[in-house]
Each structure stands twice: as structure tokens, then as C-alpha cells.
Amino acid sequence: MQPTTAQTSETLSPRQQAIVPIAAFAAAGDIARLGPALNQGLDAGLTVGDAREVLVQVYAYAGFPRSLNALGELLKVLEARRQRGLQDAPGSAPSRPIPQGDALLAAGTANQTRLVGAPVKGPLFDFAPAIDQYLKTHLFGDIFERDNLDWQSREIATVGMLSALAGAESQLQSHMGISMNVGLTPGQLRQLAQVLADRVDGAHAARADGALVRALAARGGK
């Protein structure tokens, strides 16, 4: 299982900040603004692999069409950068094979429990066990077992994506909590919301701010 990245800073690095608009624009399907955000992210230190991992992850929150469109835009951006003589770092592949079958379900269940802080169960998952299995195998298994993008970066991307999706406030609040579970601080998450306000959309930022307030309240203000 991937270890949680230690993080004591109260600010996001330029690389971490760059993930936010990329994730938000991709989830919103705003391809016109995604291209410049990808260029800025690569200039800020994202590898090609980092950007690709974020855009693949979009499928779990905004669907395959927006993920595919965003990946297509990344290809165009990379080709344009190559023509300008820019050589972007390729990044790395996962360090180990992704489990299959029962082993994938077990790994995904363990990852979900660690990220959330407790086993995830309830009437919804009893009513629709298929969605429970998909979450554990596809999201927390197939995606979160890919250790070439650390869990903090994946959560920054997830919060950016969910902030762009009206009606996903409950999930956004949950991922604010998960973000803190993997070591992101409230100060960093407030900065994430400010990045949304400055670079993306005020409404997205307001969703993020509100979700963080609720997540902190649920944790006793810690």
C-alpha cells in the first residue's frame, strides 16, 4: 500500500497548485481553458505522467467522455510544446503491477479504509452492492494503487474536480476530510480554494470553501 506523503507546509507547492485548474477544467469539460492550464502545469514542474494520471482519474468523477477529451487535449499540448523545442519530463510508470481479481478488491478495500479513516459501509451500499464493488476495485483499487502519483496529488485533483461539479457537495466534503487524512493541512486546502478563485471560477471556490468548513466542523474544528 502506498505510504502517505509527509507534509508539514501550510502552502501548496507550485506543482500542487497547478493540478487544481487542470483537474477542474477537465471535470467541467472546459477544454478551451484546459490547454493553457496544462501548459502552466508542465512549466510548474508537472511531468507528462503526472498530467496524464490526473486526466485519467477524471473518469472516476466526471465520466469517460470528459477524461478522453482532456487526454486528447494533453496530446495536442505536448505536440505543440515539442514543436517549440520544449522537452517535458516523461514521469514514471507505477512501481509494481496493479493487482487483479480478488487481490484488487482487497487492495482497494484497504486503500479506501485508510483514506477515509474507517471501513465504508451503509444502507446505500447494501442496496446497490455493485457500486460498492466498483468504488473499491476501480477507484480505490485500479487508480489509487497506481503509485506514480502520490495520494496528496490525487486528492488535490479530486477536490479540484468535485469543486467543478454542482451537486457533488457531499462527496467534496468527504474528500476534504480524506485530503486531511493524507496529510494536507486546512491552510493548504484554503489555498486550494483560493487557487480556484484566482484561476478557475468563484463558484467552484465557494463550493470548496463551504466543503472545508463542513469537514472541519465534522472533525471538531481540528
Instruction: List, for residues 103-148, the tens digit of each pLDDT value.
Output: 999 999 999 999 999 999 999 999 999 999 999 999 999 999 999 9
Please tell me the distance from the alpha carbon of residue 89 to that of residue 143, in angstroms, as a whole number: 22
Please tell me the distance from the alpha carbon of residue 181 to that of residue 119, in angstroms, as a whole number: 14
In 10 A of CB 217, how many CB atoms?
10
Please tell me the distance from the alpha carbon of residue 138 to that of residue 218, in angstroms, as a whole number: 28
Q: Does 9 have pLDDT greater than 80?
A: no
Instruction: List, for residues 203-219, the tens digit of each pLDDT value.
Output: 999 999 999 999 999 99
Query: Is residue 98 included in any domain, yes or no?
Result: no
Q: Does 1 have pLDDT greater than 60?
A: no
Instruction: List, for residues 69-106, the tens digit of each pLDDT value.
Output: 999 999 999 999 999 999 999 999 999 999 999 999 99
Task: Tell me what pLDDT residue 7 has.
Answer: 44
Helix/strand/coil percent split, the chain, to 5: 70, 0, 30
Q: Does 68 have pLDDT greater than 70?
A: yes
Domain holding 198: CATH number?
1.20.1290.10
Task: Tell me what pLDDT residue 54 has.
Answer: 98
The residue range of the domain holding 48 is: 14-93+148-218
Please tell me the distance from the alpha carbon of residue 193 to that of residue 8, in angstroms, as a whole number: 19
Please tell me the distance from the alpha carbon of residue 132 to that of residue 122, in angstroms, as a whole number: 10
The predicted model scores a pTM of 0.94
For the chain, the farthest-separated pair of C-alpha atoms sits apart, in whole angstroms, at 55
Q: Which residues contact 75 (CB under 8 A, 6 or more apart)?
A: none
Please tell me the distance from the alpha carbon of residue 183 to that of residue 195, in angstroms, as a whole number: 19
Query: Is residue 188 included in any domain, yes or no?
Result: yes
Q: Does 3 have pLDDT greater than 60?
A: no
Query: Is residue 161 included in any domain, yes or no?
Result: yes
Average pLDDT of the chain is 95
Task: Tell me what pLDDT residue 5 has.
Answer: 45
Query: Is residue 5 included in any domain, yes or no?
Result: no
- Are 28 and 58 contacting, i.e. CB atoms less than 8 angstroms apart? no
Query: Is residue 129 included in any domain, yes or no?
Result: no
**Count of structural domains within the chain:** 1
Query: Is residue 133 included in any domain, yes or no?
Result: no
Instruction: List, for residues 158-168, the tens digit of each pLDDT value.
Output: 999 999 999 99
Task: Tell me what pLDDT residue 156 has.
Answer: 98
The proportion of the chain whose per-residue pLDDT surpasses 90, expressed as a percent, equals 94
Average pLDDT over residues 63-70: 98
Query: Is residue 105 included in any domain, yes or no?
Result: no
Task: Tell me what pLDDT residue 135 has.
Answer: 96
Q: Does 221 have pLDDT greater than 80?
A: no
Confidence at 188, pLDDT banded by 50, 70, 90: very high
Intra-chain end-to-end CA distance of the chain, in Å: 26
Query: Is residue 116 included in any domain, yes or no?
Result: no
